[in-house]
Chains A and B, each alone.
Chain A
Amino acid sequence: MSERRSNAVVWTVVGTVGLIAFWELIVRALDVRPMVLLAPSRIVSTFVDDPGPYVHDAWVTAQHLVYGLSISLVISLLIGAALAAVRPLEHASQPMLVLVMVTPWVAYITSVVLIVGSGQRAVVFLVAFVTIPAFVYATVGGMRSADPSARELFSSIDASRWEVLWRLRLPSALPSLFTAMRFNIGLGLGAAYFAEGAALRLDGLGDTGRRAASFSDGEGLWTTILCTAVLGLLAQVTVALVERSTLRWHQSQR
Protein backbone atom coordinates (compact mmCIF):
# COMPACT_ATOMS: atom_id res chain seq x y z
CA MET A 1 0.00 0.00 0.00
CA SER A 2 1.36 3.41 -0.91
CA GLU A 3 1.81 6.09 1.69
CA ARG A 4 -0.94 8.19 0.13
CA ARG A 5 -3.33 5.24 0.23
CA SER A 6 -2.63 4.38 3.89
CA ASN A 7 -3.02 8.04 4.80
CA ALA A 8 -6.44 7.98 3.16
CA VAL A 9 -7.42 4.95 5.24
CA VAL A 10 -6.24 6.61 8.44
CA TRP A 11 -8.26 9.74 7.74
CA THR A 12 -11.37 7.75 6.86
CA VAL A 13 -11.16 5.98 10.20
CA VAL A 14 -10.59 9.28 12.00
CA GLY A 15 -13.67 10.72 10.28
CA THR A 16 -15.83 7.75 11.18
CA VAL A 17 -14.81 7.71 14.82
CA GLY A 18 -15.24 11.48 15.01
CA LEU A 19 -18.75 11.29 13.58
CA ILE A 20 -19.86 8.60 16.03
CA ALA A 21 -18.33 10.44 18.99
CA PHE A 22 -19.98 13.70 17.94
CA TRP A 23 -23.36 11.97 17.57
CA GLU A 24 -23.09 10.33 21.00
CA LEU A 25 -22.00 13.58 22.58
CA ILE A 26 -24.80 15.68 21.10
CA VAL A 27 -27.49 13.21 22.18
CA ARG A 28 -26.15 13.00 25.73
CA ALA A 29 -25.34 16.67 26.19
CA LEU A 30 -28.68 17.92 24.86
CA ASP A 31 -30.62 14.98 26.24
CA VAL A 32 -32.34 14.38 22.87
CA ARG A 33 -35.49 12.23 22.95
CA PRO A 34 -34.95 8.70 21.55
CA MET A 35 -37.58 9.15 18.84
CA VAL A 36 -35.73 12.21 17.51
CA LEU A 37 -32.23 10.76 17.62
CA LEU A 38 -30.91 7.77 19.46
CA ALA A 39 -27.32 7.60 20.70
CA PRO A 40 -25.14 5.11 18.80
CA SER A 41 -24.31 3.23 22.00
CA ARG A 42 -28.03 2.56 22.60
CA ILE A 43 -28.60 1.48 18.99
CA VAL A 44 -25.81 -1.03 19.37
CA SER A 45 -27.11 -2.31 22.71
CA THR A 46 -30.68 -2.64 21.33
CA PHE A 47 -29.33 -4.63 18.41
CA VAL A 48 -27.05 -6.82 20.53
CA ASP A 49 -29.82 -7.56 23.05
CA ASP A 50 -31.90 -9.36 20.46
CA PRO A 51 -30.30 -9.32 17.00
CA GLY A 52 -32.51 -12.08 15.52
CA PRO A 53 -35.47 -9.98 14.30
CA TYR A 54 -33.23 -7.22 12.92
CA VAL A 55 -31.04 -9.67 11.02
CA HIS A 56 -34.15 -11.31 9.62
CA ASP A 57 -35.62 -7.95 8.60
CA ALA A 58 -32.36 -6.85 7.03
CA TRP A 59 -32.26 -10.07 5.05
CA VAL A 60 -35.81 -9.48 3.77
CA THR A 61 -35.01 -5.89 2.79
CA ALA A 62 -31.75 -6.96 1.13
CA GLN A 63 -33.71 -9.42 -1.00
CA HIS A 64 -36.19 -6.74 -2.00
CA LEU A 65 -33.33 -4.50 -3.04
CA VAL A 66 -31.47 -7.17 -5.01
CA TYR A 67 -34.59 -8.45 -6.79
CA GLY A 68 -35.79 -4.95 -7.58
CA LEU A 69 -32.43 -3.74 -8.90
CA SER A 70 -31.87 -6.91 -10.94
CA ILE A 71 -35.26 -6.71 -12.61
CA SER A 72 -34.79 -3.01 -13.22
CA LEU A 73 -31.35 -3.52 -14.73
CA VAL A 74 -32.51 -6.21 -17.15
CA ILE A 75 -35.53 -4.19 -18.29
CA SER A 76 -33.43 -1.02 -18.58
CA LEU A 77 -30.78 -2.73 -20.71
CA LEU A 78 -33.44 -3.95 -23.12
CA ILE A 79 -35.17 -0.55 -23.26
CA GLY A 80 -31.85 1.31 -23.39
CA ALA A 81 -30.48 -0.79 -26.24
CA ALA A 82 -33.65 -0.18 -28.23
CA LEU A 83 -33.59 3.56 -27.51
CA ALA A 84 -29.89 3.84 -28.38
CA ALA A 85 -30.59 2.21 -31.74
CA VAL A 86 -33.72 4.17 -32.70
CA ARG A 87 -33.62 7.91 -32.10
CA PRO A 88 -37.35 8.63 -32.56
CA LEU A 89 -38.06 6.01 -29.92
CA GLU A 90 -35.71 7.81 -27.55
CA HIS A 91 -37.58 11.08 -27.99
CA ALA A 92 -40.93 9.35 -27.64
CA SER A 93 -39.91 7.72 -24.36
CA GLN A 94 -38.65 10.92 -22.71
CA PRO A 95 -42.01 12.02 -21.24
CA MET A 96 -42.50 8.65 -19.58
CA LEU A 97 -38.97 8.47 -18.15
CA VAL A 98 -39.05 12.02 -16.86
CA LEU A 99 -42.47 11.43 -15.34
CA VAL A 100 -41.23 8.35 -13.47
CA MET A 101 -38.24 10.33 -12.21
CA VAL A 102 -40.08 13.38 -10.95
CA THR A 103 -43.23 11.82 -9.53
CA PRO A 104 -42.81 11.27 -5.77
CA TRP A 105 -43.16 7.52 -5.28
CA VAL A 106 -44.39 8.15 -1.76
CA ALA A 107 -47.56 9.40 -3.40
CA TYR A 108 -48.53 6.50 -5.59
CA ILE A 109 -47.66 3.48 -3.42
CA THR A 110 -51.35 2.91 -2.65
CA SER A 111 -52.15 2.53 -6.31
CA VAL A 112 -49.13 0.21 -6.74
CA VAL A 113 -50.55 -2.02 -4.02
CA LEU A 114 -53.92 -1.95 -5.76
CA ILE A 115 -52.37 -2.90 -9.07
CA VAL A 116 -49.76 -5.53 -8.18
CA GLY A 117 -51.10 -6.61 -4.80
CA SER A 118 -49.62 -6.16 -1.34
CA GLY A 119 -46.49 -7.70 0.15
CA GLN A 120 -43.25 -8.56 -1.59
CA ARG A 121 -44.55 -7.92 -5.10
CA ALA A 122 -45.44 -4.33 -4.33
CA VAL A 123 -42.06 -3.66 -2.72
CA VAL A 124 -40.03 -5.21 -5.54
CA PHE A 125 -42.17 -3.46 -8.12
CA LEU A 126 -41.58 -0.06 -6.55
CA VAL A 127 -37.81 -0.60 -6.24
CA ALA A 128 -37.61 -1.67 -9.89
CA PHE A 129 -39.91 1.07 -11.13
CA VAL A 130 -38.12 4.01 -9.53
CA THR A 131 -34.64 2.82 -10.53
CA ILE A 132 -35.41 2.27 -14.22
CA PRO A 133 -34.89 5.85 -15.47
CA ALA A 134 -31.31 6.20 -14.18
CA PHE A 135 -30.37 2.82 -15.66
CA VAL A 136 -32.00 3.65 -18.99
CA TYR A 137 -30.22 7.00 -19.26
CA ALA A 138 -26.93 5.34 -18.37
CA THR A 139 -27.46 2.65 -21.00
CA VAL A 140 -28.43 5.05 -23.77
CA GLY A 141 -25.70 7.56 -22.98
CA GLY A 142 -23.05 4.89 -22.55
CA MET A 143 -23.95 3.07 -25.73
CA ARG A 144 -23.97 6.32 -27.69
CA SER A 145 -20.50 7.10 -26.35
CA ALA A 146 -19.01 4.13 -28.21
CA ASP A 147 -16.05 5.31 -30.30
CA PRO A 148 -17.32 6.19 -33.82
CA SER A 149 -14.09 4.93 -35.39
CA ALA A 150 -14.57 1.59 -33.65
CA ARG A 151 -18.14 1.44 -34.98
CA GLU A 152 -16.80 2.09 -38.47
CA LEU A 153 -14.24 -0.65 -37.95
CA PHE A 154 -16.97 -3.08 -36.92
CA SER A 155 -19.02 -2.31 -39.97
CA SER A 156 -15.98 -2.55 -42.27
CA ILE A 157 -16.11 -6.31 -41.80
CA ASP A 158 -19.89 -6.50 -41.56
CA ALA A 159 -20.12 -7.33 -37.84
CA SER A 160 -23.71 -8.20 -36.92
CA ARG A 161 -25.96 -5.91 -34.92
CA TRP A 162 -25.66 -8.34 -32.05
CA GLU A 163 -21.86 -8.20 -32.16
CA VAL A 164 -21.93 -4.40 -32.20
CA LEU A 165 -24.24 -4.43 -29.20
CA TRP A 166 -22.43 -7.07 -27.20
CA ARG A 167 -18.81 -6.35 -28.06
CA LEU A 168 -18.87 -2.60 -28.46
CA ARG A 169 -21.94 -0.80 -27.14
CA LEU A 170 -22.48 -2.68 -23.91
CA PRO A 171 -18.86 -2.48 -22.71
CA SER A 172 -18.90 1.22 -23.60
CA ALA A 173 -21.94 1.62 -21.33
CA LEU A 174 -20.38 -0.17 -18.33
CA PRO A 175 -18.78 2.87 -16.66
CA SER A 176 -22.02 4.87 -16.69
CA LEU A 177 -24.01 1.80 -15.60
CA PHE A 178 -21.84 1.47 -12.52
CA THR A 179 -22.39 5.13 -11.68
CA ALA A 180 -26.15 4.65 -12.07
CA MET A 181 -25.96 1.57 -9.84
CA ARG A 182 -24.35 3.53 -7.02
CA PHE A 183 -27.07 6.14 -7.30
CA ASN A 184 -29.85 3.54 -7.55
CA ILE A 185 -28.74 1.66 -4.43
CA GLY A 186 -29.64 4.66 -2.30
CA LEU A 187 -32.85 5.31 -4.20
CA GLY A 188 -33.91 1.65 -4.22
CA LEU A 189 -33.18 1.17 -0.54
CA GLY A 190 -35.31 4.19 0.32
CA ALA A 191 -38.12 2.88 -1.86
CA ALA A 192 -37.85 -0.59 -0.28
CA TYR A 193 -37.90 0.77 3.29
CA PHE A 194 -40.88 2.95 2.55
CA ALA A 195 -42.83 0.36 0.58
CA GLU A 196 -42.33 -2.30 3.26
CA GLY A 197 -44.00 0.00 5.73
CA ALA A 198 -46.82 0.80 3.36
CA ALA A 199 -47.39 -2.46 1.53
CA LEU A 200 -48.91 -4.49 4.38
CA ARG A 201 -45.87 -6.68 4.69
CA LEU A 202 -45.22 -8.07 8.14
CA ASP A 203 -41.45 -8.01 8.03
CA GLY A 204 -38.58 -6.06 6.49
CA LEU A 205 -36.76 -3.14 8.07
CA GLY A 206 -39.30 -0.65 6.78
CA ASP A 207 -42.25 -2.44 8.30
CA THR A 208 -40.58 -2.94 11.69
CA GLY A 209 -39.46 0.67 11.62
CA ARG A 210 -42.95 1.95 10.86
CA ARG A 211 -44.49 -0.11 13.64
CA ALA A 212 -41.81 0.98 16.10
CA ALA A 213 -42.55 4.59 15.18
CA SER A 214 -46.27 4.15 15.74
CA PHE A 215 -45.55 2.83 19.24
CA SER A 216 -43.10 5.68 19.88
CA ASP A 217 -40.37 3.03 20.21
CA GLY A 218 -37.30 5.13 19.41
CA GLU A 219 -34.90 2.26 19.98
CA GLY A 220 -36.66 -0.02 17.48
CA LEU A 221 -36.98 2.78 14.92
CA TRP A 222 -33.34 3.87 15.07
CA THR A 223 -32.04 0.33 15.01
CA THR A 224 -33.90 -0.32 11.72
CA ILE A 225 -32.57 2.96 10.38
CA LEU A 226 -29.00 2.03 11.18
CA CYS A 227 -29.50 -1.49 9.80
CA THR A 228 -30.73 0.08 6.55
CA ALA A 229 -27.69 2.32 6.40
CA VAL A 230 -25.37 -0.63 6.97
CA LEU A 231 -27.16 -2.52 4.20
CA GLY A 232 -26.65 0.42 1.84
CA LEU A 233 -23.00 0.62 2.81
CA LEU A 234 -22.47 -3.09 2.16
CA ALA A 235 -24.16 -2.75 -1.23
CA GLN A 236 -21.98 0.24 -2.15
CA VAL A 237 -18.81 -1.58 -1.13
CA THR A 238 -19.81 -4.66 -3.13
CA VAL A 239 -20.48 -2.56 -6.23
CA ALA A 240 -17.20 -0.69 -5.77
CA LEU A 241 -15.28 -3.97 -5.60
CA VAL A 242 -17.00 -5.38 -8.68
CA GLU A 243 -16.43 -2.10 -10.48
CA ARG A 244 -12.76 -2.07 -9.65
CA SER A 245 -12.19 -5.54 -11.10
CA THR A 246 -14.47 -5.03 -14.12
CA LEU A 247 -13.33 -1.57 -15.13
CA ARG A 248 -9.60 -1.93 -14.67
CA TRP A 249 -9.23 -0.53 -18.18
CA HIS A 250 -11.25 2.61 -17.47
CA GLN A 251 -9.68 5.92 -16.45
CA SER A 252 -11.94 6.20 -13.41
CA GLN A 253 -10.15 3.22 -11.88
CA ARG A 254 -6.57 4.36 -12.47
Chain B
Amino acid sequence: MARMNIARNKSTKKPLARNKSAVQKSENQKAADGKKARAGGWGLELPKELLLEMHRLMVKSRVLEERLIKIYKAGEAYFWIGGPGEEAFGVPLGLLTKKGQGPEYDYLHLHYRCSPTMVALGMPMIDAIRLIMNRATDRCTGGRNFANHYCFPEWNVVPVSSPIEVQYTIAIGTAWAQRRRNGDSITIVSGGDAGTAEGDFASCLVWASRKGSELPMLITVQNNGWGISTPFQGQHGETHVADRGKAFNLKTMVINGNDPVESYVKIQEAMEYIRRERKPILMETMVSRLYGHSSADGLNRRPEEDCLELFEQKLIKSGLLTDSKAKAIWDEYEKEAREAQEQVRQEPPPSEESIWDHMFVDNENGDWRKF
Protein backbone atom coordinates (compact mmCIF):
# COMPACT_ATOMS: atom_id res chain seq x y z
CA MET B 1 0.00 0.00 0.00
CA ALA B 2 1.24 3.43 -0.89
CA ARG B 3 1.05 4.82 2.60
CA MET B 4 3.18 2.08 4.03
CA ASN B 5 5.67 2.85 1.34
CA ILE B 6 6.04 6.27 2.82
CA ALA B 7 6.33 5.02 6.36
CA ARG B 8 9.09 2.64 5.39
CA ASN B 9 11.14 5.53 4.15
CA LYS B 10 11.05 7.52 7.34
CA SER B 11 14.69 7.01 8.13
CA THR B 12 15.80 8.57 4.86
CA LYS B 13 14.29 11.97 5.24
CA LYS B 14 17.36 14.04 5.92
CA PRO B 15 16.82 17.53 4.52
CA LEU B 16 18.88 18.22 1.45
CA ALA B 17 21.49 20.93 1.78
CA ARG B 18 20.39 22.47 -1.49
CA ASN B 19 16.85 22.90 -0.26
CA LYS B 20 17.62 26.33 1.10
CA SER B 21 15.08 28.93 0.28
CA ALA B 22 16.44 32.09 -1.17
CA VAL B 23 14.28 34.77 -2.66
CA GLN B 24 16.07 37.44 -4.57
CA LYS B 25 14.14 40.68 -4.37
CA SER B 26 14.09 44.22 -3.07
CA GLU B 27 14.80 45.07 0.57
CA ASN B 28 11.33 46.57 0.92
CA GLN B 29 9.67 43.38 -0.05
CA LYS B 30 11.90 41.36 2.20
CA ALA B 31 10.76 43.47 5.12
CA ALA B 32 7.13 43.11 4.15
CA ASP B 33 7.47 39.38 3.87
CA GLY B 34 9.11 39.19 7.28
CA LYS B 35 5.73 39.72 8.89
CA LYS B 36 4.15 36.71 7.26
CA ALA B 37 7.26 34.58 7.40
CA ARG B 38 7.19 31.30 9.21
CA ALA B 39 7.57 32.06 12.89
CA GLY B 40 8.83 28.73 14.13
CA GLY B 41 6.01 26.41 15.13
CA TRP B 42 4.98 23.92 12.50
CA GLY B 43 5.42 26.15 9.53
CA LEU B 44 1.75 25.81 8.75
CA GLU B 45 0.70 29.44 8.44
CA LEU B 46 -2.12 28.95 5.99
CA PRO B 47 -5.83 28.43 6.64
CA LYS B 48 -6.59 24.98 7.99
CA GLU B 49 -8.96 24.10 5.14
CA LEU B 50 -6.32 24.98 2.60
CA LEU B 51 -3.69 22.88 4.37
CA LEU B 52 -6.01 19.89 4.49
CA GLU B 53 -7.03 20.43 0.87
CA MET B 54 -3.39 20.48 -0.20
CA HIS B 55 -2.70 17.34 1.80
CA ARG B 56 -5.68 15.58 0.26
CA LEU B 57 -4.61 16.49 -3.28
CA MET B 58 -1.01 15.52 -2.60
CA VAL B 59 -2.19 12.12 -1.40
CA LYS B 60 -4.43 11.77 -4.43
CA SER B 61 -1.60 12.61 -6.78
CA ARG B 62 0.83 10.24 -5.02
CA VAL B 63 -1.66 7.39 -5.02
CA LEU B 64 -2.33 8.02 -8.69
CA GLU B 65 1.39 7.95 -9.58
CA GLU B 66 1.96 4.82 -7.54
CA ARG B 67 -1.02 3.25 -9.29
CA LEU B 68 0.49 4.19 -12.67
CA ILE B 69 3.75 2.55 -11.59
CA LYS B 70 1.86 -0.58 -10.56
CA ILE B 71 0.09 -0.63 -13.92
CA TYR B 72 3.46 -0.48 -15.63
CA LYS B 73 4.95 -3.15 -13.39
CA ALA B 74 1.97 -5.41 -14.06
CA GLY B 75 2.73 -5.19 -17.77
CA GLU B 76 -0.40 -3.19 -18.53
CA ALA B 77 1.46 -0.16 -19.85
CA TYR B 78 4.50 0.30 -22.06
CA PHE B 79 6.14 3.15 -20.18
CA TRP B 80 5.91 5.26 -17.07
CA ILE B 81 7.26 8.67 -16.30
CA GLY B 82 5.76 11.00 -13.72
CA GLY B 83 6.02 13.28 -10.75
CA PRO B 84 6.00 11.47 -7.40
CA GLY B 85 8.07 13.76 -5.18
CA GLU B 86 6.86 16.98 -6.78
CA GLU B 87 3.47 17.18 -5.03
CA ALA B 88 4.39 19.93 -2.59
CA PHE B 89 5.14 22.25 -5.49
CA GLY B 90 2.74 20.93 -8.13
CA VAL B 91 -0.41 20.94 -6.02
CA PRO B 92 -0.20 24.61 -4.93
CA LEU B 93 0.66 25.53 -8.52
CA GLY B 94 -2.54 23.91 -9.72
CA LEU B 95 -4.60 25.44 -6.92
CA LEU B 96 -3.35 28.94 -7.70
CA THR B 97 -3.85 28.69 -11.44
CA LYS B 98 -6.62 30.82 -12.93
CA LYS B 99 -8.34 27.88 -14.52
CA GLY B 100 -10.28 28.15 -17.75
CA GLN B 101 -10.10 28.14 -21.53
CA GLY B 102 -8.64 30.84 -23.75
CA PRO B 103 -6.22 33.71 -23.26
CA GLU B 104 -8.26 35.28 -20.45
CA TYR B 105 -7.15 32.34 -18.30
CA ASP B 106 -3.73 30.98 -17.38
CA TYR B 107 -1.91 28.75 -19.85
CA LEU B 108 0.00 25.74 -18.59
CA HIS B 109 2.96 24.47 -20.62
CA LEU B 110 3.84 21.49 -18.48
CA HIS B 111 6.33 18.67 -18.70
CA TYR B 112 6.02 14.99 -17.82
CA ARG B 113 6.17 15.34 -14.02
CA CYS B 114 3.08 17.44 -13.50
CA SER B 115 0.36 15.07 -12.37
CA PRO B 116 0.19 16.92 -9.01
CA THR B 117 -0.78 20.09 -10.85
CA MET B 118 -3.31 18.21 -12.97
CA VAL B 119 -4.86 16.58 -9.92
CA ALA B 120 -5.10 19.98 -8.23
CA LEU B 121 -6.80 21.38 -11.32
CA GLY B 122 -9.39 18.65 -10.99
CA MET B 123 -8.28 15.92 -13.39
CA PRO B 124 -10.08 12.68 -12.59
CA MET B 125 -7.65 9.83 -11.89
CA ILE B 126 -9.21 7.74 -14.59
CA ASP B 127 -8.03 10.11 -17.31
CA ALA B 128 -4.40 9.55 -16.32
CA ILE B 129 -5.00 5.80 -16.28
CA ARG B 130 -6.60 5.85 -19.73
CA LEU B 131 -3.56 7.74 -20.95
CA ILE B 132 -0.97 5.32 -19.56
CA MET B 133 -3.02 2.33 -20.76
CA ASN B 134 -3.49 3.85 -24.25
CA ARG B 135 -7.23 3.38 -24.46
CA ALA B 136 -9.48 4.77 -27.19
CA THR B 137 -11.06 6.66 -24.31
CA ASP B 138 -7.80 8.52 -23.56
CA ARG B 139 -9.13 12.02 -24.10
CA CYS B 140 -5.69 13.61 -24.06
CA THR B 141 -4.07 11.75 -26.94
CA GLY B 142 -6.37 8.99 -28.17
CA GLY B 143 -3.90 6.30 -27.12
CA ARG B 144 -1.04 7.97 -28.93
CA ASN B 145 1.27 9.24 -26.22
CA PHE B 146 3.09 8.41 -22.98
CA ALA B 147 1.91 8.65 -19.40
CA ASN B 148 1.77 12.15 -17.98
CA HIS B 149 1.67 13.74 -21.45
CA TYR B 150 -1.55 15.57 -20.70
CA CYS B 151 -3.72 17.86 -22.76
CA PHE B 152 -6.81 19.57 -21.33
CA PRO B 153 -7.96 22.47 -23.49
CA GLU B 154 -10.71 23.47 -21.05
CA TRP B 155 -7.94 24.38 -18.58
CA ASN B 156 -5.44 25.67 -21.15
CA VAL B 157 -3.21 22.68 -20.52
CA VAL B 158 -1.51 22.52 -23.93
CA PRO B 159 -0.10 19.16 -25.10
CA VAL B 160 2.87 17.95 -23.07
CA SER B 161 5.62 17.06 -25.53
CA SER B 162 8.57 14.72 -25.01
CA PRO B 163 11.38 16.82 -26.52
CA ILE B 164 12.99 18.48 -23.53
CA GLU B 165 12.54 22.24 -23.14
CA VAL B 166 10.46 23.02 -26.26
CA GLN B 167 7.64 24.16 -24.00
CA TYR B 168 9.78 27.15 -22.97
CA THR B 169 9.85 28.57 -26.50
CA ILE B 170 6.21 27.74 -27.16
CA ALA B 171 5.06 29.35 -23.90
CA ILE B 172 6.19 32.78 -25.02
CA GLY B 173 3.47 32.68 -27.67
CA THR B 174 0.54 32.22 -25.32
CA ALA B 175 2.05 34.86 -23.03
CA TRP B 176 2.24 37.20 -26.02
CA ALA B 177 -1.44 36.58 -26.77
CA GLN B 178 -2.25 37.35 -23.12
CA ARG B 179 -0.08 40.43 -22.97
CA ARG B 180 -2.11 42.24 -25.61
CA ARG B 181 -5.38 41.52 -23.79
CA ASN B 182 -4.61 43.59 -20.71
CA GLY B 183 -6.20 41.07 -18.36
CA ASP B 184 -4.57 39.34 -15.41
CA SER B 185 -4.00 35.93 -16.96
CA ILE B 186 -0.49 34.51 -17.14
CA THR B 187 1.46 31.73 -18.81
CA ILE B 188 3.07 29.08 -16.64
CA VAL B 189 5.86 26.92 -18.01
CA SER B 190 7.63 24.10 -16.22
CA GLY B 191 10.54 21.78 -16.83
CA GLY B 192 13.51 20.13 -15.20
CA ASP B 193 16.96 21.36 -14.23
CA ALA B 194 19.05 19.49 -16.78
CA GLY B 195 16.86 20.70 -19.62
CA THR B 196 17.80 24.31 -18.94
CA ALA B 197 21.03 23.60 -20.82
CA GLU B 198 18.97 23.59 -24.02
CA GLY B 199 18.84 26.78 -26.07
CA ASP B 200 15.08 26.93 -25.62
CA PHE B 201 15.54 27.95 -22.00
CA ALA B 202 17.70 30.87 -23.06
CA SER B 203 15.20 31.70 -25.82
CA CYS B 204 12.49 31.91 -23.21
CA LEU B 205 14.49 34.33 -21.06
CA VAL B 206 15.34 36.49 -24.08
CA TRP B 207 11.79 36.76 -25.39
CA ALA B 208 10.15 37.11 -21.99
CA SER B 209 12.34 40.00 -20.89
CA ARG B 210 12.54 42.32 -23.91
CA LYS B 211 12.28 45.90 -22.66
CA GLY B 212 8.80 47.24 -23.17
CA SER B 213 7.58 43.83 -24.34
CA GLU B 214 7.94 41.84 -21.12
CA LEU B 215 5.75 38.77 -20.95
CA PRO B 216 3.45 37.74 -18.09
CA MET B 217 5.10 34.41 -17.41
CA LEU B 218 5.85 32.23 -14.44
CA ILE B 219 8.89 30.34 -15.64
CA THR B 220 9.53 27.44 -13.29
CA VAL B 221 12.37 24.96 -13.10
CA GLN B 222 11.79 21.87 -10.98
CA ASN B 223 15.30 21.08 -9.84
CA ASN B 224 15.48 17.45 -8.72
CA GLY B 225 19.26 17.39 -8.99
CA TRP B 226 19.28 14.97 -11.90
CA GLY B 227 18.99 14.66 -15.65
CA ILE B 228 18.36 10.90 -15.93
CA SER B 229 21.73 9.76 -14.54
CA THR B 230 23.76 12.95 -14.73
CA PRO B 231 23.93 14.93 -11.50
CA PHE B 232 23.32 18.68 -11.43
CA GLN B 233 26.99 19.44 -10.74
CA GLY B 234 27.97 17.56 -13.87
CA GLN B 235 26.26 19.99 -16.19
CA HIS B 236 25.92 23.35 -14.46
CA GLY B 237 28.43 26.06 -13.56
CA GLU B 238 25.81 28.41 -12.17
CA THR B 239 24.98 28.14 -8.47
CA HIS B 240 21.26 28.27 -9.12
CA VAL B 241 19.52 27.98 -12.45
CA ALA B 242 17.46 30.96 -11.31
CA ASP B 243 20.60 33.11 -11.27
CA ARG B 244 20.53 33.08 -15.04
CA GLY B 245 17.42 35.24 -14.93
CA LYS B 246 19.35 38.07 -13.31
CA ALA B 247 21.24 38.82 -16.51
CA PHE B 248 17.85 39.50 -18.11
CA ASN B 249 16.66 41.71 -15.26
CA LEU B 250 14.12 39.09 -14.28
CA LYS B 251 12.83 38.75 -10.78
CA THR B 252 14.07 35.36 -9.59
CA MET B 253 13.21 33.02 -6.74
CA VAL B 254 14.62 29.79 -5.38
CA ILE B 255 12.14 27.95 -3.20
CA ASN B 256 11.87 24.74 -1.26
CA GLY B 257 9.53 22.72 -3.44
CA ASN B 258 9.33 20.03 -0.79
CA ASP B 259 7.38 22.36 1.47
CA PRO B 260 3.80 22.91 0.28
CA VAL B 261 3.32 25.91 2.56
CA GLU B 262 6.39 27.72 1.32
CA SER B 263 5.51 26.74 -2.24
CA TYR B 264 1.97 28.04 -1.90
CA VAL B 265 3.06 31.33 -0.37
CA LYS B 266 5.84 31.92 -2.87
CA ILE B 267 3.85 30.89 -5.93
CA GLN B 268 1.04 33.13 -4.79
CA GLU B 269 3.44 36.02 -4.29
CA ALA B 270 5.00 35.42 -7.70
CA MET B 271 1.64 35.15 -9.44
CA GLU B 272 0.33 38.32 -7.83
CA TYR B 273 3.37 40.15 -9.13
CA ILE B 274 3.09 38.70 -12.65
CA ARG B 275 -0.66 39.31 -12.86
CA ARG B 276 -0.23 42.88 -11.74
CA GLU B 277 3.05 43.93 -13.34
CA ARG B 278 2.71 41.82 -16.52
CA LYS B 279 6.37 40.83 -16.16
CA PRO B 280 8.03 37.43 -15.87
CA ILE B 281 9.48 35.66 -12.87
CA LEU B 282 11.97 32.81 -12.98
CA MET B 283 11.32 30.42 -10.12
CA GLU B 284 13.57 27.49 -9.33
CA THR B 285 12.06 24.97 -7.01
CA MET B 286 14.04 22.24 -5.26
CA VAL B 287 12.21 18.93 -5.43
CA SER B 288 12.77 15.18 -5.04
CA ARG B 289 12.60 12.39 -7.58
CA LEU B 290 11.22 9.51 -5.58
CA TYR B 291 11.06 6.72 -8.14
CA GLY B 292 13.99 7.52 -10.38
CA HIS B 293 13.74 8.96 -13.86
CA SER B 294 11.21 6.67 -15.50
CA SER B 295 10.25 3.03 -15.94
CA ALA B 296 13.59 2.64 -17.74
CA ASP B 297 15.23 3.36 -14.40
CA GLY B 298 14.10 0.46 -12.20
CA LEU B 299 11.19 2.17 -10.45
CA ASN B 300 12.52 1.61 -6.95
CA ARG B 301 11.91 4.10 -4.17
CA ARG B 302 14.90 6.41 -3.74
CA PRO B 303 16.24 7.67 -0.41
CA GLU B 304 15.24 11.27 -1.00
CA GLU B 305 13.22 13.66 1.11
CA ASP B 306 9.51 12.89 0.80
CA CYS B 307 7.45 16.07 0.87
CA LEU B 308 4.18 14.27 1.52
CA GLU B 309 5.50 12.23 4.40
CA LEU B 310 6.92 15.36 6.04
CA PHE B 311 3.75 17.36 5.50
CA GLU B 312 1.46 14.64 6.76
CA GLN B 313 3.53 14.22 9.91
CA LYS B 314 3.45 17.95 10.54
CA LEU B 315 -0.32 18.03 10.14
CA ILE B 316 -0.72 15.14 12.54
CA LYS B 317 1.71 16.49 15.12
CA SER B 318 0.10 19.91 15.01
CA GLY B 319 -3.31 18.34 15.56
CA LEU B 320 -4.81 19.42 12.24
CA LEU B 321 -5.10 15.84 11.10
CA THR B 322 -5.38 12.49 12.81
CA ASP B 323 -3.75 9.25 11.84
CA SER B 324 -7.07 7.62 11.15
CA LYS B 325 -8.36 10.51 9.04
CA ALA B 326 -5.16 10.43 7.03
CA LYS B 327 -5.49 6.70 6.52
CA ALA B 328 -9.06 7.15 5.36
CA ILE B 329 -7.91 9.62 2.69
CA TRP B 330 -5.23 7.23 1.42
CA ASP B 331 -7.72 4.36 1.39
CA GLU B 332 -10.34 6.36 -0.45
CA TYR B 333 -7.96 7.23 -3.27
CA GLU B 334 -6.49 3.74 -3.36
CA LYS B 335 -9.98 2.47 -3.97
CA GLU B 336 -10.71 5.07 -6.61
CA ALA B 337 -7.47 4.29 -8.44
CA ARG B 338 -7.98 0.55 -8.31
CA GLU B 339 -11.53 0.80 -9.56
CA ALA B 340 -10.48 3.16 -12.31
CA GLN B 341 -7.86 0.70 -13.48
CA GLU B 342 -10.43 -2.09 -13.47
CA GLN B 343 -12.78 0.02 -15.54
CA VAL B 344 -10.12 1.10 -18.01
CA ARG B 345 -9.16 -2.52 -18.58
CA GLN B 346 -12.63 -3.02 -20.02
CA GLU B 347 -12.37 -0.04 -22.36
CA PRO B 348 -11.44 -0.56 -26.01
CA PRO B 349 -8.01 0.14 -27.46
CA PRO B 350 -7.71 2.67 -30.27
CA SER B 351 -8.70 1.23 -33.64
CA GLU B 352 -6.21 0.81 -36.45
CA GLU B 353 -8.19 3.20 -38.64
CA SER B 354 -7.86 5.93 -36.04
CA ILE B 355 -4.24 6.62 -37.07
CA TRP B 356 -5.54 9.05 -39.69
CA ASP B 357 -7.84 10.89 -37.31
CA HIS B 358 -6.95 14.52 -36.63
CA MET B 359 -4.15 14.82 -39.11
CA PHE B 360 -5.92 17.98 -40.23
CA VAL B 361 -8.75 19.91 -38.61
CA ASP B 362 -12.25 18.48 -39.12
CA ASN B 363 -10.63 15.26 -40.26
CA GLU B 364 -9.82 16.69 -43.65
CA ASN B 365 -8.08 13.86 -45.46
CA GLY B 366 -4.36 13.63 -44.68
CA ASP B 367 -3.67 10.32 -46.44
CA TRP B 368 -1.85 10.96 -49.74
CA ARG B 369 -3.33 7.79 -51.20
CA LYS B 370 -6.64 9.62 -51.17
CA PHE B 371 -5.46 13.03 -52.40
Q: Is chain B a partner of chain A in the same complex?
A: no
B interface residues (Cβ-Cβ under 8 A, vs A)? none
A interface residues (Cβ-Cβ under 8 A, vs B)? none
